[in-house]
Amino acid sequence: MTEIINFAHRGAAGHCPENTMISFTRALEFGATGIETDVQMTKDGRLVLIHDETLHRTAGSPEWVKDLTLDDIKSREVGSWYHDDFRGERIPALEELLDLVRGKDTIVNLELKNGIVLYPELEYKVVEMVRQYGLSERIIISSFNHYSLVECKRIAPEIRTGILYMEGIYEPWDYAKRIGADALHAFKHALRPELVAAAAIEGVPYHPFTVNEQYEMKALIEAGVAGIITDYPDRLAELLSS
């Protein structure tokens, strides 16, 4: 059996404040073989790792990422909302994560968050930085904005892309081939074993999200998924080693 990728969702988000360096570092300590994170762009064109378009939930501020410079972003504290033990954690720039994984075998899933805010040239900037770090073979770019995935494939055919979707797409492996995508990143309730099998025949792997209970993980492993995106990479690592 091909080794299943243990994607840590926003890092070890079940244990640490999401999308922080401590969350990414802890995920690797827990046995993650992949890291999933979200990419947005600051006012001055820098790439930062944050899920929400505003800082309301994680920093207690109504400000939008698009309206702040990198220096502004770095001055915001995003750890204490989760637990006071993490007070002082900051929003990372993309290059901080790429520095962390550069000497490792970790797969990195970069989700482009450009459904609400259409960041200009986000695809180009992400591809450019990935290439600068020489990590094209270990990156998967995913997005709910499938136009963005097509653009990524146009400018960087060597970088894998993954289609994010919530509900049923008819024969999604055919759709993936149509837009040149390499994987299906489906919400866990949007797939069944027969879909996983049919996609595998067509050479299109599934990486479902966000799977946090071991009984769900076990069922998906038995169905034949190629990777699992989870807030608890330690739980998945334990299951895969047993």
* CATH value at residue 64: 3.20.20.190
| pLDDT for residue 1 is more than 50 | no
Task: Quote the pLDDT of residue 45.
Answer: 98
Mean pLDDT score, 77-90: 98
Q: Structurally, how many domains does the chain consist of?
A: 1
Q: Which residue has the tokens 């099998």?
A: 197
Kindly give the residue spans of alpha helices, DSSP state H, lying in the chain.
21-29, 56-59, 70-74, 94-101, 122-132, 146-155, 172-179, 193-201, 214-223, 233-241
Q: Is 189 a catalytic residue?
A: no
| pLDDT for residue 21 is more than 90 | yes
What does the alpha-carbon distance between residue 135 and residue 108 come to, in Å, rounded to a whole number? 9
CB 35 within 8 A of CB 7: yes
| pLDDT for residue 114 is more than 80 | yes
Task: Quote the pLDDT of residue 63.
Answer: 98
Amino acid in position 26: R
Mean pLDDT score, 119-143: 98
CA 172, 176, 182, 188 dihedral sign is negative
Mean pLDDT score, 194-200: 97
Mean pLDDT score, 41-50: 98
Tell me how far apart the 2 most distant CA atoms of the chain are, in Å.
49
Task: Please write the tens of the pLDDT for every residue from 71-82.
Answer: 999 999 999 999
Task: Quote the pLDDT of residue 2.
Answer: 66
Helix or strand holding residue 213 (H, E): none
CB 35 within 8 A of CB 97: yes
Report pTM: 0.97
Mean pLDDT score, 65-72: 98
Composition of the chain by helix, strand, coil, percent to 5? 40, 20, 40
Q: Which residue has the tokens 């990935």?
A: 130
Q: Is 51 a catalytic residue?
A: yes
The residue annotated as part of the active site, out of 9, 15, 185, 207, is 9
| pLDDT for residue 69 is more than 60 | yes
Q: Which residues contact 40 (CB under 8 A, 6 or more apart)?
A: 47, 48, 49, 50, 53, 65, 66, 113, 114, 117, 119, 122
Pairing of strands 107-112, 34-41: parallel
Query: What residue numbers bound the domain in which 142 lies?
Result: 5-241
